[in-house]
């Protein structure tokens, strides 16, 4: 798999096939047991929306501190980012939650904070692991628009089990098959997701 700037790639495959593992390796939080990975923009933080929003937030930090954590790790000082993060929180009705701790949030609110943190990170590489989980249809529609705008001109890798996500402006499609990542056409990615969805509901 080789991705260039501006590529928005989707990665599909059955549960347990290694999709999240690949994202973790790209993010640098896990090391591959074989093969190599080259990331050409190590000087910039990577925006990563993980699947489990509970594990993504530091429980001893406020919502705003969690959002600004990647920037604080990357820079010695902040500019307008805190105000921009508060503006994003306000768009989702979470402005009053900025100084709450994660345990006070619902699952959907935690996922929104997870997304706001990614959208507040000046990244060239963006990783999404089923980012719309726990969001209702109305909130999801608003989030999708922000995600699409943010991903533009960045390198994006998107993991999903939802066939509806293929309506996003995906440019490339990858599938994990027999422990191999292969590039496929949209129709094959759609078929794979439909098959996974059918098995999950059986």
- Tell me the three state secondary structure of residue 35: coil
Residue 14 domain boundaries = 8-201
**DSSP string across 40-52:** S-TTSPPEEE-S-
Task: Provide the token pair at 168.
Answer: 């996003």
Task: Evaluate if residue 23 carries a pLDDT over 70.
Answer: yes
- Give domain status of residue 2, yes or no: no
Let me know if residue 52 belongs to a domain: yes
Our CA angle for 6, 12, 15, nearest 5°, is: 145
**pLDDT tens-place string over residues 144-191:** 999 999 998 899 999 999 998 999 999 999 999 888 889 999 999 999
Q: Does residue 186 lie in a domain region? A: yes
What percentage of the chain carries pLDDT values higher than 70? 89
DSSP H helices, 28-171, are 53-56, 63-74, 81-91, 107-119, 137-151
Closest by Cα among 125, 124, 127, 131 to 53: 131
Closest among 133, 188, 137 to 166, alpha carbons compared: 188
CATH number (domain holding residue 170): 3.40.50.300
Quickly state the pLDDT bin for 93 (edges 50, 70, 90): confident
Does residue 142 form part of some domain?
yes
* pLDDT tens by residue, 35-66: 666 666 556 778 999 988 778 899 999 999 99
Q: Any bridge partners for residue 184, and if so which?
A: 173
Tell me whether residue 126 is in a domain. Answer: yes
Residue 3 lies in a domain: no
> Does residue 177 lie in a domain region?
yes
Whether pTM > 0.95 for this model: the answer is no
Does 161 map to a domain? Answer: yes
For residue 164, with 0-12 CB atoms within 10 Å meaning exposed, 13-18 middle and 19 or more buried, which class applies? exposed
Give how many domains the chain has, as a whole number.
Answer: 1
């Amino acid at each position: 798999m080789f991705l260039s700037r501006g590529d928005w790639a989707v990665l599909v495959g059955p549960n347990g096939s290694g999709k999240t593992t690949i994202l973790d390796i790209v993010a640098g939080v896990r090391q591959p047991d074989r093969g190599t990975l080259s990331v050409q923009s190590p000087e910039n933080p990577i925006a990563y929306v993980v699947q489990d929003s509970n594990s993504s937030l530091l429980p001893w930090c406020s919502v705003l501190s969690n959002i600004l954590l990647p920037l604080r790790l990357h820079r010695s000082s902040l500019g307008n980012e805190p105000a921009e993060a508060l503006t994003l929180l306000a768009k989702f009705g979470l402005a009053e939650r900025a100084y709450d701790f994660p345990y006070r949030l619902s699952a959907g609110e935690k996922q929104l904070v997870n997304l706001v943190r990614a959208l507040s990170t000046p990244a060239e590489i963006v990783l999404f692991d089923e980012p719309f989980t726990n969001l209702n249809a109305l909130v999801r529609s608003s989030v999708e628009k922000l995600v699409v705008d943010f991903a533009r001109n960045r390198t994006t890798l998107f993991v999903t089990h939802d066939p509806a996500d293929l309506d996003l402006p995906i440019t490339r499609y990858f599938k994990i098959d027999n422990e191999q990542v292969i590039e496929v056409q949209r129709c094959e990615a759609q078929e794979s997701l439909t098959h996974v969805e059918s098995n999950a509901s059986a």
